A and B are shown apart, each in its own frame.
Chain A
């Protein structure tokens, strides 16, 4: 039908036809997948939700005299960064907490500040306090470093998220008798609310369910800048059960993504606090789907009504690693504000912002239309539904 190279030619000429993952739904409903696939070159997707396996690595440059932070300790605004690299390379994880955070000692703690917030403040151009200690060597004699740093002064600042963009997710409820505080938000007792976390019909991997176009090397909208799919994400689980439309009905594929933090925006990477749980980073991602066939177009046109998720009890089942679904609901039901589970009507809440996901899909669409963003050919595919690639639980073995 068309190739990515041909789409890029059209982008350069300014004649490319781009629609969002919402707009393709109406188009296919009106004209059918065949006609729509002939007309549309690219469908843009978007998602904006808390993604805990996010972080960034930095090269801070060498001080005079030099210090070997590698193997020592390093804190950014009191939040510890990982130092097990060379002299001045560090990695800051989104969920890292200052050592003096109360950590649920006065349950539930608010978790006001952590790694995700440091990343947001770097993007806001703020000065960050760096405090490092080391043991001193002949070539790196310094043992202590205290300095202000900011994003523009760093050599490299690279966002590297090892699991983002979950293809579908649980709907969380609480069957217990007391309020619980989870990574899915506060859950009232006896199924008082149901929280979900997906952009549904706008979400990248739900619109390319078999990873026919999204692969390693795919260029994406990441945190307001340009990034790439680096690998499949951790816990990638392509063998998860799928409906007839090939859309998984529970958490399935994931992506590891990477990009230059310096061109990203605080608006699309937000430090996030989950009461009683911890801190995280809310990440904005948009992925273009090149319409290379009628089939890819039909997949991209899947609607909220056709995407199902499992309702899971976080009061007991989830913490005890009991796999059980209390029922199945679709995203149209979730977005209506109420779902019915085991005969009970439950109000719903979202962790993932649909309105921001839509903005991302629109923004990526305008980048492509304006010729600022060309598509990349993936260099390798992601492990797919037939690959045998699985997400396994830990087998605990006693230490002798």
Chain B
């Protein structure tokens, strides 16, 4: 069983295709949409948690790529610029996924990327703009 959080970029020619439907029907994958933004005439973007048997998962990923969807693992997308971060901790209670944790000894903020659901709340509230997005 595999479960991964991934970012899908749909070129605009694919925006009207039932891609996610096929993932479910043909590859038996479960999905949870964490974020989606589809603008007509532009690229579509979807953040998914995708899960299924290993063999199905890999086939599904190949299908996505063959269809022209660009796939990125989620953790690469929301990054902390440590040169800008002051470790204040304002992001900690704002994050709905509890991805920010304060180290009890150093009092520095730890960003646990694997918990991030790319909701982007931290990006706007960070006082020094230390959270950056690379979709």
Binding site for B on A (CB under 8 A): 48-50, 108, 110, 112, 185-186, 188, 192-195, 270-275, 280, 282, 335, 337, 346-356, 358
Smallest distance from the beta carbon of A307 to chain B beta carbons, Å?
A: 16
User: Is there contact, CB below 8 Å, between B125 and A356?
Assistant: no
Q: Using a CB-CB cutoff of 8 Å, which residues 92-135 of chain B contact chain A?
A: 92-94, 102, 106-108, 121, 124-125, 127-129
User: Is there contact, CB below 8 Å, between B90 and A195?
Assistant: yes
Q: Across the interface, which residues of A come within 8 angstroms of B102, CB to CB?
A: 335, 337
User: Is there contact, CB below 8 Å, between A349 and B127?
Assistant: no
Q: List 5 A-B contacts (CB under 8 A).
A: A50-B127, A272-B127, A273-B129, A350-B90, A354-B89
Whether a CB of chain A sits under 8 angstroms from the CB of B53 is: no
Smallest distance from the beta carbon of A20 to chain B beta carbons, Å?
A: 13
User: Is there contact, CB below 8 Å, between A353 and B93?
Assistant: no
Smallest distance from the beta carbon of B118 to chain A beta carbons, Å?
A: 18
Whether a CB of chain A sits under 8 angstroms from the CB of B2 is: no
Whether a CB of chain A sits under 8 angstroms from the CB of B86 is: yes
Whether a CB of chain A sits under 8 angstroms from the CB of B87 is: yes
Q: Once the chains are docked, how many angstroms separate the CA of A346 from the CA of B92?
A: 12
Binding site for A on B (CB under 8 A): 86-94, 102, 106-108, 121, 124-125, 127-129
User: Is there contact, CB below 8 Å, between A185 and B86?
Assistant: no
User: Is there contact, CB below 8 Å, between A272 and B90?
Assistant: no
Residue of A49, A112, A353 with most chain B CB atoms under a 10 A cut-off = A353
Question: In chain B, what residue has the closest Cβ to A338?
Answer: B93
User: Is there contact, CB below 8 Å, between B86 and A270?
Assistant: yes
Question: In chain A, what residue has the closest Cβ to B89?
Answer: A350
Q: Of A110, A193, A194, A272, which is within 8 A of B124 by CB?
A: A110
Q: Once the chains are docked, how many angstroms separate the CA of A195 from the CA of B91?
A: 10
Q: Once the chains are docked, how many angstroms separate the CA of A275 from the CA of B86?
A: 17
Given contacts A186-B125, A282-B127, contact A349 B86 (CB under 8 A): no
In the complex, besides A195-B93, A273-B128, 20 extra interface pairs with C-beta distance below 8 angstroms are A108-B124, A185-B94, A186-B121, A193-B94, A272-B127, A272-B128, A273-B129, A275-B124, A275-B125, A337-B102, A348-B93, A349-B90, A349-B93, A350-B89, A350-B92, A351-B127, A352-B88, A353-B87, A353-B107, A355-B87
Given contacts A50-B127, A272-B127, contact A282 B86 (CB under 8 A): yes
Q: Across the interface, which residues of A come within 8 angstroms of B89, CB to CB?
A: 349-350, 353-354
Query: Lowest 5 A-B CB distances belong to which pairs?
Result: A193-B93, A347-B93, A350-B89, A354-B107, A349-B93
Q: Once the chains are docked, how many angstroms separate the CA of A135 from the CA of B102?
A: 55
Q: Once the chains are docked, how many angstroms separate the CA of A282 from the CA of B86?
A: 10
Q: Across the interface, which residues of B come within 8 angstroms of A347, CB to CB?
A: 92-93
Question: In chain B, what residue has the closest Cβ to A202?
Answer: B107
Q: Across the interface, which residues of B come within 8 angstroms of A346, CB to CB?
A: 93
Q: Across the interface, which residues of A come within 8 angstroms of B94, CB to CB?
A: 185-186, 188, 193, 349
Q: Once the chains are docked, how many angstroms separate the CA of A273 from the CA of B90?
A: 12
User: Is there contact, CB below 8 Å, between B127 and A274?
Assistant: yes
Q: Once the chains are docked, how many angstroms separate the CA of A188 from the CA of B125?
A: 12
Question: In chain B, what residue has the closest Cβ to A186?
Answer: B125
Smallest distance from the beta carbon of A356 to chain B beta carbons, Å?
A: 6
Q: Across the interface, which residues of B come within 8 angstroms of A275, CB to CB?
A: 124-125
Residue of B90, B92, B121 with most chain A CB atoms under a 10 A cut-off = B90
Q: Once the chains are docked, how many angstroms separate the CA of A348 from the CA of B107?
A: 13
Q: Once the chains are docked, how many angstroms separate the CA of A337 from the CA of B92?
A: 9
Question: In chain A, what residue has the closest Cβ to B94?
Answer: A186
Q: Once the chains are docked, how many angstroms separate the CA of A186 from the CA of B93?
A: 10
Q: Of B91, B108, B125, B128, which is within 8 A of A355 by CB?
A: B108
